[in-house]
């Protein structure tokens, strides 16, 4: 007699289970899985207060090649982190990161990789991953340096013999080469004018390029979509904090 209700019951169960895999922020759900990896974090993060409410700093688990986490938990936006614990992390994930998500839960930048399956495939279910950052710079500029300038820009802007446009974007040099410094290309603009992305050459090169603009190099193809240029815009419009 009960048999005819079974398919419905099973499909409800499957729906319920898969919905937690759709990139939702886990914290917002009353959903608890008591098996899986555990992350414990104690330590200090500097400049974390630079982020505005459009961004969230989270510990998140990712499957391969995906910018949206399987699940994530926000960390407190205070300098000192005590007894942060994140349990029940899906053991099918490929990596666990301390990272920044934007308002649609897309990863904007990685601050630290806590676990990478490719490097340690032997982790057991219910194993604990400890992360103890010591004054790790979690600010907006540190993210831009690490995730944009060092990866995509420095090889033309500073790593070779002469930096393109006389602009160094290498670690330790970029801030003083950008903020309140006159642009070489358009001399009425600064490279970065704090609180004004529209009048900052750094934001313009990443978002504007036309046949008649007279620029020798098209910078707008560096990133797919506007996640990264928005990060630069938000940083400048927050006053370009160091």
Binding region for ligand HEC (CB under 6 A): 148, 152-153, 155-157, 164-165, 167, 169, 183-185, 191, 201-202, 205, 215-217, 219, 222
Closest CB to ligand HEC among residues 117, 152: 152
- Decide whether 73 or 219 has the Cβ nearer to ligand HEC: 219
Contact indicator for 216, 192 with CB cutoff of 8 Å: no
**Contacts of the segment 164-172: beta carbons below 8 A, 24+ positions apart:** 164/217, 167/191, 171/145
Structure tokens at 208: 């504007």
Give me the least distance between CB of 68 and ligand HEC, in Å please: 23
User: Count of residues for the chain?
Assistant: 242
Distance, CA of 240 to chain centre = 18
Q: How far is the CB of 47 from ligand HEC (least distance, A)?
A: 20
Answer whether 223's CB lies under 8 Å from 233's CB. Answer: no
User: How many other β-carbons are positioned within 10 Å of the β-carbon of residue 168?
Assistant: 20
**Smallest separation, CB 234 to ligand HEC (Å):** 15
Nearer of residues 68 and 209 to ligand HEC, judged by Cβ: 209
What's the closest the beta carbon of residue 186 comes to ligand HEC, in angstroms? Answer: 6
Q: Are 72 and 105 in contact (CB under 8 A)?
A: yes
Least distance to ligand HEC, CB of residue 209, Å = 10
Nearer to ligand HEC, 63 or 220 (CB): 220
Q: Which is nearer to ligand HEC, 201 or 236 (CB)?
A: 201
Distance CA 62, CA 96 (A): 6
């Amino acid at each position: 007699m009960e048999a005819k209700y079974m398919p419905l019951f099973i499909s409800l169960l499957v729906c319920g289970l898969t919905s937690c895999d759709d990139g939702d922020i886990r914290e917002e759900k009353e959903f608890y899985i008591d098996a899986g990896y555990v992350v414990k974090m104690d330590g200090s993060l500097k400049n974390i207060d630079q982020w505005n409410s459009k961004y969230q700093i989270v510990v998140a688990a990712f499957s391969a090649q995906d910018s949206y986490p399987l699940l994530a938990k926000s960390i407190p936006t205070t300098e000192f982190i005590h007894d942060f614990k994140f349990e029940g992390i899906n053991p099918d994930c490929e990596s666990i990161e301390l990272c920044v998500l934007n308002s649609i839960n897309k990863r904007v930048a990685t601050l630290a990789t806590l676990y990478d399956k490719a490097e340690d495939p032997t982790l057991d279910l219910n194993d604990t991953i400890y992360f103890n950052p010591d004054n790790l710079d979690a600010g907006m500029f540190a993210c831009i340096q690490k995730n944009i300038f060092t990866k995509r820009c420095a090889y033309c802007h500073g790593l070779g013999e002469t930096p393109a446009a006389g602009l160094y974007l290498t670690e330790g040099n970029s801030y003083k080469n950008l903020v309140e410094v006159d642009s070489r290309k358009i001399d009425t603009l600064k490279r970065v004018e704090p609180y004004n992305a529209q009048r900052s050459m750094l934001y313009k090169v990443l978002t504007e390029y036309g046949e008649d603009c007279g620029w020798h190099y098209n910078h707008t193809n560096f990133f797919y979509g506007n996640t990264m240029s928005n990060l630069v815009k938000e940083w400048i419009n927050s006053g370009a904090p160091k």
